Every structure is written in structure tokens, then in C-alpha cells.
Amino acid sequence: MELIQQLINGLLQGSLYSLLAIGFTLIFGVLSMMNLAHSEVFMTSGIMVYILIDKVHLPLYAAVPIVLAGSIALGMVIELVSFRPIRRDYHYAPLASTIALGIVISELVVNLSGSDAKSVPSVIHLSNLQIGEVLISSPQMILLLVSLVSMLGLSYIMKSTKLGRSMRALSESETAAKLLGVHVRFVVVSTFVLASLLAAVAGMLYAIRFETVSPFMGTMVGLKGLAVMIIGGLGNIRGAMIGGILMGLLEVMAIALPLGLTEYADAVVWGMLILILLFRPTGLMGSSVQTERV
């Protein structure tokens, strides 16, 4: 019973990583560049939930659209300042730029709302689901469903729609994409909008589930999201989903199984990442077909 509970714990915990990683991977999949400020969108949406509900006293249904809009705006700002001015040749630059932007965002939040964690009032109490002895947190269940749905939806979009093909074309070569008629700015902005939406949903559900938000909550989760993206394979949406669940399960199992690994939970997770890379240098679902001809 305890093991089943732990498996569920892992699954639910992983869904958060999945959702963030899908955002990461989506952006990478289009720009071939990393957006390390992505996890700050997650954090900001959590903080926004807190401010709107605890300070402005809005009901949840009124807060949600505002948070979504705010996160999309933030995503677009990130695109505007850290990606748009930078040409592809300098693909390292967005690394520094987005880390710095992440610092700016989180420091702004700290300055405006304090460095402490904040407790989010439980405006809607989503009660836990109890199946037999197994306890399932409803917000996390929703998180899992959202990740699944967005994975399926986005995979479909990437594979079979005009937008998806444009995204993939763009990720390979901006010039080629332009010559084929891809509206580069539109595609890039849409990607950021999509990714930010996912991060916002993650942030909100996180706030509801843990009833706590903090200006630093993006860092650790973001790092894991990054690892998940790599485990899944850059740009691979299904990979991100599976990687997230895998990471959640592994993290939980490091604690749950009597192997004396609780203190090493992180080492286990990162160790897995390294192992996977050793055997599959482009992640679990990254393409292993060599497309680079000599």
C-alpha cells in the first residue's frame, strides 16, 4: 500500500517537472536556444496568485485570467529583450541574458513582495481524492492531466500542423525558414505564449496545492525541469513528459526505498541524468538518426 502511495506521489510530483520541461523544450525546439528565465514565469504566476487573492482579495475565477495574461506578457517580454535582439550565431548569448533576466525578475519580486515564502489562502479547497488508502492531491491530479493534454496537443501541433512545421523549420535554420515563408516573429511569439501559459498553469496549481509561494520557488524546480528536458531529448515534447514522470518517480523512490539514499536523493536524480546521457547522448527520445551528412 505504502509503495502504491509512493508511486502516486512520484507520478504527481513528476507532473510539475513535466509541465515546466514541456515549456523549456518547446522554446528550445523552436529557437535552438535556451530560455533559463522560463522557470521565473512559473514563479511569477505563483506570486501573482498570492497577490491577487491575498492582497487584492479577488476570487479565484477572477484571478486566473489575470495571472494567465500576466504570464503571457512576461513571456513576451523575455522574448523581446533576451531573444529578439540576438542573432542565431550567438546562441550562447541568450543563456547569459535569460539567467540575468531571471535575476531581475526574481529580485523585483523580492523587492516588491519580500523574500519570505508567502502563504496562499485556500480560496478553493480542492479536497483530496481518497481511493482506498491511497491519497491523491486533486490540484496535482489536474497538473498531471494538464501535462498529459498539453503533451498530446503540442505533439500533434508540432507533427502535423503548419505552425508546428514552421516551428521545426525555424529551429533548424532561421534563414531557411524565412525563405520558405515562415513568419518568424509570429511563430516565435506564439511559442513563448504557449510556453508561458503552461508555466502559468503550473504556477497556479502549485500555489493551490502547496498553499505557499516564494520568490525562489522557480530555481530548484526550474533546474529539475531543465534536467527533464535533457532526459527527454531537446525539443521532444513526449520526452519531456516521460522524463518528468521518471524524475518524479526516481526522486520519490530514492526516499521511499530502504536503500539509505534519502540524503542522496538529488545525487540519484542527477546521476540518472548523467547515466542516460552516457548511453543516449541526445536523451531518451532525442533523435538518434544521424541527419548531419558529411
Partner 1 sequence: MEQSIFIFAGINIILALSLYVTMATGQLSLGHGAFMALGAYVSSILTVHFSIPLVLSFLAGAAAAALVGFAIGFPALRIKGIYLAVGTLGFNEMIEVVLRNVDYIGGASGLSGMSGTTLANVAVGTVVVLAAVLYMNRTRLGWAFKAVEQDEVAAQSMGLNVTFFKICAFTISAGIAGIAGAYYAHYMFFIDPQSFGFHTSLLILFYVLIGGYQTPWGAVTGAFLLTLIPEIFRGLEEWRLVVYGIIIVVMMAVRPQGLISEKTVKTIRSRFARKQRQSPSSISSLR
Partner 2 sequence: MTAILEVKAASAAYGQIQALRDVNLDVYEGEVVALIGSNGAGKSTLLKTISGIIRPTNGEIRFNGAPIHQEQTHVIVKSGLVHVPEGRAILKRMTIEDNLLTGGMYASKHDTPHLLAHVYDIFPLLRDRRQHPAGTLSGGQQQMLAIARGLMAQPKLLMLDEPSLGLAPLVIKEIFGLIQTLKASGMTILLVEQNARQALRIADRGYVIENGGIKLADRANALLHNDMILQAYLGGAHSA
Partner 3 sequence: GSADTKPASAPSANQEKTATAKPIKIGFLVPKTGKGKDYGEKEEIATKIAVDEINAAGGINGSKLELVTEDTAGDNKQAVLLTRKLEKENVVAISGPHFSGEAEVTFPIANELKIPIISYASAKPGISAANRPWAFRNSMTDDKLLSTALPVFAKHYNVKKFAVIYDEKDAVSKSAGVDVLPVAIEKNGFEWVNKSNPLAIKTGDTDYSAIVTKVKGMKPEAIAVSVLYQEGAGLVKELRRQGVNVPIIGTVGIYASAFPKLAGEAAKDIVVGTYWYPEIDRAQAQEFLKKFEPEAVKLTPDASKPDPYAVNAYDNIQIIAKQLKDAGLNGDSDVKKLRETVRSGWEKLKDYEGTQGKMTIDAEGDGVKEVHTVTIKDGNYAPLK
Ligand X SMILES: Nc1ncnc2c1ncn2[C@@H]1O[C@H](COP(=O)(O)OP(=O)(O)OP(=O)(O)O)[C@@H](O)[C@H]1O
For binding to partner 2 (CB under 8 A), which residues are involved? 162, 165-166, 168-169, 172-173, 175-185, 287, 289-293
Q: How far is the CB of 18 from partner 3 (least distance, A)?
A: 13
| Using rule CB under 8 A, residue 252 touches partner 3 | yes
Other beta carbons within 10 angstroms of residue 281's beta carbon come to 9
Q: How far is the CB of 73 from partner 3 (least distance, A)?
A: 25
Which CB, 107 or 172, lies closer to partner 2?
172
For 120-123, which contacts have Cβ atoms below 8 Å and span 24 or more sequence positions? 120/46, 120/49, 120/50, 120/53, 120/54, 120/207, 120/208, 120/211, 120/212, 120/213, 121/53, 121/54, 121/211, 122/208, 122/211, 123/53, 123/59, 123/60
| Region of residue 136 (phi > 0: left; psi between -120 and 50: alpha; otherwise: beta) | beta
Contact pattern for partner 3 over residues 199 through 238, marking x by CB under 8 A: -------x---xxx-x-xx-xxx-----------------
Which CB, 65 or 281, lies closer to partner 1?
281
Q: Which does 237 bind (CB under 5 to 8 A by kind): partner 3, ligand X, partner 1, none?
A: none
| Using rule CB under 8 A, residue 100 touches partner 3 | no
Nearest by Cα to 167 from 152, 151, 150, 189: 189
**With contact defined as beta carbons under 8 Å apart, do 217 and 45 qualify?**
no
Q: How far is the CB of 208 from partner 1 (least distance, A)?
A: 29
Q: How far is the CB of 236 from partner 3 (least distance, A)?
A: 25
| Using rule CB under 8 A, residue 132 touches partner 3 | no
**With contact defined as beta carbons under 8 Å apart, do 167 and 191 qualify?**
yes
Q: Which does 221 bind (CB under 5 to 8 A by kind): ligand X, partner 1, partner 3, none?
A: partner 3
Q: How far is the CB of 188 from partner 1 (least distance, A)?
A: 15
Site residues for partner 1 per CB under 8 A: 28, 34, 81-82, 85-87, 90, 92-97, 99-104, 107-108, 110-111, 223, 226-227, 229-230, 234, 263-264, 266-267, 270-271, 273-274, 277-278, 281-283, 294
Q: From CA 283, how far away is CA 223, in angstroms rounded? A: 16
The CA distances from residue 248 to 61, 82, 126, 227, in Å, are: 30, 31, 22, 12
Q: How far is the CB of 282 from partner 2 (least distance, A)?
A: 11
Element (H, E) at 131: strand 129-131
| Using rule CB under 8 A, residue 126 touches partner 3 | no
**With contact defined as beta carbons under 8 Å apart, do 167 and 187 qualify?**
yes
Sequential DSSP letters for 74-119: HHHHHIIIIITTS-GGGTTHHHHHHHHHHHHHHHHHHHHH-SS-EE
Site residues for ligand X per CB under 6 A: 290, 293
Nearest by Cα to 74 from 110, 49, 42: 42
Q: How far is the CB of 289 from ligand X (least distance, A)?
A: 7
Residues that bind partner 3 (CB under 8 A): 2, 5-6, 9-10, 12-13, 16, 107, 110, 114-119, 122, 128, 135, 137, 206, 210-212, 214, 216-217, 219-221, 251-252, 255-256, 258, 260, 262-263, 265-266
